[in-house]
Amino acid sequence: MDPDGDPKWRYAVLACLVSAALMVVALALPRVPLFVARPQDYLSVHLLLELVAVVVSVMVITIAWGSLGKRDLPRANVLIFGFTLVAGTDLAHALVYAGMPSLIVDGSIELSIFFWLAGRSAEALSLLLVAAGARFAGTPVRWLTAAVLLFAGLLLTGVYALPHLPDTYVPGLGVTSFKARIEYVLSAANLLLAGWFFTRYRRESNSRFLWLGLASFVMGVGELAFTNYVEPSDAISLLGHIYKVVGYSCIYRAAFIVAVHDPYALLSRSSERTRAKEQELNRLMQSLPVGVVRLDKRLGVRYSNPAFDRSLLRATSCVDGMPLERLIDSASYRQLLPLLQQALNGERGQLDGGYCTPQGEQRHGHAVVVPDGEGVMAIFTDTTVREQSLRKLELSMRENSDIRLALDAHAIVAFTDARGVITKVNDKFCAISQYARDELIGQTHSLLNSGTHPRAFFAELWRTIAHGEVWNGEVCNRAKDGSLYWVQTTIVPFVGDNGLPEQYIAIRADITKRKQAEAQALHIALHDELTGLPNRRLLTERLLQATRKAVRSGSYGAVLMIDLDNFKEVNDTLGHAQGDALLCQVAGRLQQMVHDVDTVARLGGDEFVLLLEDLGCDLEQVIARVVVRAEQLRQRLGEPCLLSNLQLSVSPSIGVTLFTLNDDQAEELVKQADMAMYRAKDAGRDQVCFFDPAMQTEVLERAMLLRDLRQALDNDEFCLFYQPVVDGQQRILGVEALIRWQHPQLGMVSPATFIPLAEDCGLILSIGQWVLKTACLQLASWAQDPERADWHIAVNVSARQLNQDDFVDQVAAIIDSTGACAARLRMELTESMLQENLPRTISKMRILRQMGIRFSLDDFGTGYSSFSYLQRLPMDQLKIDKSFIDHVLTDANDAAIAGTIVALGRTLGLGVVAEGVETVEQMRFLVDSGCQVFQGYLFGRPVEAAALGRSRQVLAAS
């Protein structure tokens, strides 16, 4: 213990020092006699002081008697015994004092000193016994009696044996050395006791020892006052008595602390603790989610916590004191009553069941009833939510079992453990996999692995489910017989308490048919229907892959565009079925000539593409290799094909482009090969031509021209030129309308250039309409001119125009709107135009003929026209193609053809026009052959209407 930190200790030390110092000073001073004038006053003071000591002793006895508990009784007996003796001797000391009224014996100083010394000895002995922890067994009465008896013995000793004892006081001289020595011994004993008590205090911090120490010290010091007085009324003696009173007060204080202060402090502390505990308990009760109610033996409410009141929907004040019977519904009370009675008899019990709130709500609860003193305590738990959850759980378990049944009936189900080992399968699983249940259980699904999916596919699957997530996907499995089947698979992991999957359920649906249909659809989407070759879409994909591969490997690849020369004629003359058969044969030949890595595709019509890969990294060798292969192709494709007993040779034009590190766009490569192929065609067909970047310029120019062409009509850049058609006397019978395009930058653009472009992009429809209308306006205008009123105008009609459903209506509307005479309008068609949908074309021609319009068959002789076919057409005129006229004088064949056409026309009752007549000799030959109508530069080039001559004017050439 830290003495500086204990104020009590500091005060005790101070008190000891002061008392000691005071006594030293008092002893050092000369004798101070008191009460000299009135010695009887000292008797009163002495009696008073001694009575204080007696009272304190009695109080100590009383406290010890009444306040110390049973356990401390042996220690209390020590105090009772000691302080009874002290009280008795002190009282005797006071009463037998010299001058006090006689009481049984006459008083004297010696007798008084005898009782004084006996009292001090008893007092020192008592304190010593206390210090030694002495315990006197037995009842307090016994020890009180013992003390009284001992006191009686002392009393008798004092009265009868005093003369035989050594002197303690000599009047006029004061205390004897015998008494002084006894006092010193008593003083020393007290001071030793003080030291012992202080030590105990320092060790145990028990104030009782502090006060006892202080008492012993003060009394020990006070004892010295009685060693050298002369008269008992001397100041020093009085001081000694005061020390004694102070010492006794300290003893009382110690006894008070032990018997009253400490127990009360303890009691107060324990009450505090009890109160705190009660508050805590109360708070606990307030916040408890379970209802607690304490009932008296008549089952009236003594206490109820808020949860109980809430469950009844009542305030606590309304519940207190009320019989339980009136608080809960009668059915519940009837159920509870046996339990309550059982608890009143000391037995606990519990009950689980439904009850009804005052509002009529049906709830569920659990009650535990326990004995509680004279009454009972009931603890109610509202288990409605738990019950509802249980019901739901039951329901969901029932549903789960329904779902399981449904699953079993409709899905392919398998259970596996966490490692994927099959633990359970349903019948459908066995059926689709063709394995028996025994063969599957204990195996993993790798038994069914079809090798369709890469390892990464299954790695991803496992990654997903091992994380406790559901995996969905389509899997191709292999059945026991080796056949493949597809299943839409959902794998659901069942996660355990440790958060890791413990087992998996795999639910599958057979999607084999759907996958087959998809594969078929994909095949159709990516392949040409006629030849079964990859189509443009698949080619584009393969090209993309090939170019990427080429970039990676540095190896060259090549794209070969193959177009059949004159295939159109095959179609036109032999029909589409034969054309298709030819295409199939070409496709077959191509496939025979490529390697596994290569791709043969058909883009449409007679266009095929060959994609060659892995041609090597040396450009020269690559070119040499490609040239060889392209030549082989050209030769093989040029070999005759057998089509329904007809041998036919169709040469190919092949355009080639190479690709390597430049990751050219797939479409760009096809375009390049296409350009090269056109170059091959331009170069005379049946050729192999490599792509040259200059070709791109051509394509670009074409694109620019097309752009301008789209605006030409709006910009009024077209005009019609007219070329005279004359008779044998070179009189103008009519004209052929030929379109001209006055391009703002390029000047006059030939129709041979832009008409094919317009055909390709569909602009020919609006251009054709413009031509027809302009020609009709011209006819209407000439109708007013007697010189030209009977001229006809021949208009070139394109296939796309003629094939329009409303072509007839369009023509009729133009004739109506322009006021032209339909009989003066002539339409020039080519043989190739008439191949498609011939009956429909004929019907349109017939309607137009009924309107008065006449038809000429242009470029006649260049196609495969048959006699029967010609007969069916509602034609009026044949035009011998310029190519025959050109060589009519030099080539016997062309001369024969020209002559035949004239004869044919006559036979069929058709007019014949020879076009492209440039020389008088040509004309003469034609006249000699029977031809009567002519057209050509010999009679006039195409010119504007205003520049035409007059109808009866004989042209300059004649």
Ligand X SMILES: Nc1nc2c(ncn2[C@@H]2O[C@H](COP(=O)(O)O[C@H]3[C@@H](O)[C@H](n4cnc5c(=O)[nH]c(N)nc54)O[C@@H]3COP(=O)(O)O)[C@@H](O)[C@H]2O)c(=O)[nH]1
Chain centroid, CA 767 distance in Å: 62
* Contact region with ligand X (CB under 6 A), list: 462-470, 588-596, 744-752, 834-842: 744-752
769 binds ligand X (CB under 6 A): no
Q: Count Cβ atoms within 10 A of the Cβ of residue 271 and give its class: 0-12 exposed, 13-18 middle, 19 or more buried.
A: exposed
Is residue 561 within 8 Å of residue 630, measured between CB atoms?
no
Q: For residue 254, give the nearest of 217, 209, 218, 219 by alpha carbon.
A: 209
Give residues with Cβ within 8 angstroms of 133, minimum separation 6.
Answer: 75
- Residue 61 or 767: which CB sits closer to ligand X? 767
- Residue 183 or 831: which CB sits closer to ligand X? 831
755 binds ligand X (CB under 6 A): yes
- Residue 239 or 726: which CB sits closer to ligand X? 726
Nearest-approach distance from CB 734 to ligand X, in angstroms: 13
Nearest-approach distance from CB 752 to ligand X, in angstroms: 4
In the DSSP assignment, the letter for residue 265 is: H
Measured from the Cβ of residue 817, the count of other Cβ atoms closer than 10 Å reads 12
> By CB under 6 A, what part of segment 527-586 binds ligand X?
none
> By CB under 6 A, what part of segment 665-724 binds ligand X?
723
> By CB under 6 A, what part of segment 715-734 binds ligand X?
723
739 binds ligand X (CB under 6 A): yes
Is residue 586 within 8 Å of residue 564, measured between CB atoms?
yes
Q: Which residues pair with 689 in a beta bridge?
A: 655
Among 751, 861, 899, 911, binds ligand X (CB under 6 A): 751
Nearest-approach distance from CB 639 to ligand X, in angstroms: 33
916 binds ligand X (CB under 6 A): yes
Is residue 802 within 8 Å of residue 772, measured between CB atoms?
no
Among 230, 918, 943, 955, binds ligand X (CB under 6 A): 918
* Contact region with ligand X (CB under 6 A), list: 49-57, 339-347, 656-664, 909-917: 909-917
- Residue 654 or 793: which CB sits closer to ligand X? 793
Nearest-approach distance from CB 737 to ligand X, in angstroms: 6
Structure-token pair, residue 481? 């017989």
- Residue 57 or 796: which CB sits closer to ligand X? 796
> By CB under 6 A, what part of segment 70-89 binds ligand X?
none
911 binds ligand X (CB under 6 A): no
Is residue 803 within 8 Å of residue 838, measured between CB atoms?
no
| Total interface residues for ligand X by CB under 6 A | 21
- Residue 339 or 755: which CB sits closer to ligand X? 755
Nearest-approach distance from CB 867 to ligand X, in angstroms: 22
Nearest-approach distance from CB 808 to ligand X, in angstroms: 18
Q: Is the dihedral of CA 840, 842, 848, 851 positive or negative?
A: negative
Tokens 């007085």 belong to 229
Cα–Cα distance for residue pair 295/301, rounded to 1 Å: 5
422 binds ligand X (CB under 6 A): no
Among 50, 183, 528, 859, binds ligand X (CB under 6 A): 859
- Residue 752 or 946: which CB sits closer to ligand X? 752
Nearest-approach distance from CB 810 to ligand X, in angstroms: 15
Among 123, 565, 572, 915, binds ligand X (CB under 6 A): 915
Cα–Cα distance for residue pair 77/690, rounded to 1 Å: 136
Among 88, 107, 936, 949, binds ligand X (CB under 6 A): 936
Nearest-approach distance from CB 755 to ligand X, in angstroms: 5
* Contact region with ligand X (CB under 6 A), list: 75-83, 231-239, 506-514, 745-753: 745-753
Nearest-approach distance from CB 913 to ligand X, in angstroms: 9
Beta strand extents in 596-717 (DSSP E only): 599-604, 607-612, 641-643, 646-648, 652-659, 688-690
Cα–Cα distance for residue pair 852/774, rounded to 1 Å: 18
Nearest-approach distance from CB 537 to ligand X, in angstroms: 34
Q: Count Cβ atoms within 10 A of the Cβ of residue 490 and give its class: 0-12 exposed, 13-18 middle, 19 or more buried.
A: middle
- Residue 160 or 937: which CB sits closer to ligand X? 937
Question: Which alpha helices (DSSP H) does 747-837 contain, by range?
Answer: 751-761, 764-782, 799-802, 807-818
CA distances from 212 to 197, 485, 845 (A): 6, 105, 150
In the DSSP assignment, the letter for residue 449 is: B
In the DSSP assignment, the letter for residue 747 is: E
Which pairs count as long-range contacts for 682-685, CB under 8 Å and 24+ apart, including other chains? 685/565, 685/566, 685/651, 685/653
Among 400, 665, 750, 837, binds ligand X (CB under 6 A): 750
- Residue 688 or 755: which CB sits closer to ligand X? 755
Exposed e or buried b per residue across 381-418, where buried means at least 16 C-beta atoms within 10 angstroms of its C-beta: bbbbeebeeeeeeeeeeeeeeeeeeebeeebbbbbbee
Residues in contact with ligand X, shown as a per-residue x/- string from 586 to 615 under the rule CB under 6 A: ------------------------------
Using DSSP bridges, classify how beta strands 301-304 and 291-295 pair: parallel, antiparallel or unpaired. antiparallel
Question: Which alpha helices (DSSP H) does 783-837 contain, by range?
Answer: 799-802, 807-818
Nearest-approach distance from CB 918 to ligand X, in angstroms: 4
Nearest-approach distance from CB 884 to ligand X, in angstroms: 12
Degrees, nearest 5: CA angle 568-570-575? 105
Question: What DSSP string runs through 645-674?
Answer: TEEE---EEEEEEEESSS---HHHHHHHHH
Among 404, 937, 944, 958, binds ligand X (CB under 6 A): 937
291 binds ligand X (CB under 6 A): no
Among 129, 147, 771, 811, binds ligand X (CB under 6 A): 771
Is residue 608 within 8 Å of residue 618, measured between CB atoms?
no
Nearest-approach distance from CB 746 to ligand X, in angstroms: 15
* Contact region with ligand X (CB under 6 A), list: 119-127, 450-458, 922-930, 934-942: 934-942
Give residues with Cβ within 8 angstroms of 359, minimum separation 6.
Answer: 313
* Contact region with ligand X (CB under 6 A), list: 38-46, 90-98, 560-568, 935-943: 935-943
Measured from the Cβ of residue 678, the count of other Cβ atoms closer than 10 Å reads 18
Nearest-approach distance from CB 652 to ligand X, in angstroms: 26
Nearest-approach distance from CB 858 to ligand X, in angstroms: 5
* Contact region with ligand X (CB under 6 A), list: 148-156, 342-350, 671-679, 933-941: 933-941
Residues in contact with ligand X, shown as a per-residue x/- string from 797 to 836 under the rule CB under 6 A: -x--------------------------------------
Among 37, 104, 752, 892, binds ligand X (CB under 6 A): 752
Amino acid at 952: R
Cα–Cα distance for residue pair 827/801, rounded to 1 Å: 12
Among 77, 84, 168, 796, binds ligand X (CB under 6 A): 796
- Residue 450 or 862: which CB sits closer to ligand X? 862
Nearest-approach distance from CB 732 to ligand X, in angstroms: 14
Cα–Cα distance for residue pair 837/832, rounded to 1 Å: 11
Nearest-approach distance from CB 683 to ligand X, in angstroms: 22
Contact residues for ligand X (CB under 6 A)? 723, 736, 738-739, 750-752, 755, 771, 796, 798, 858-859, 915-918, 935-937, 942
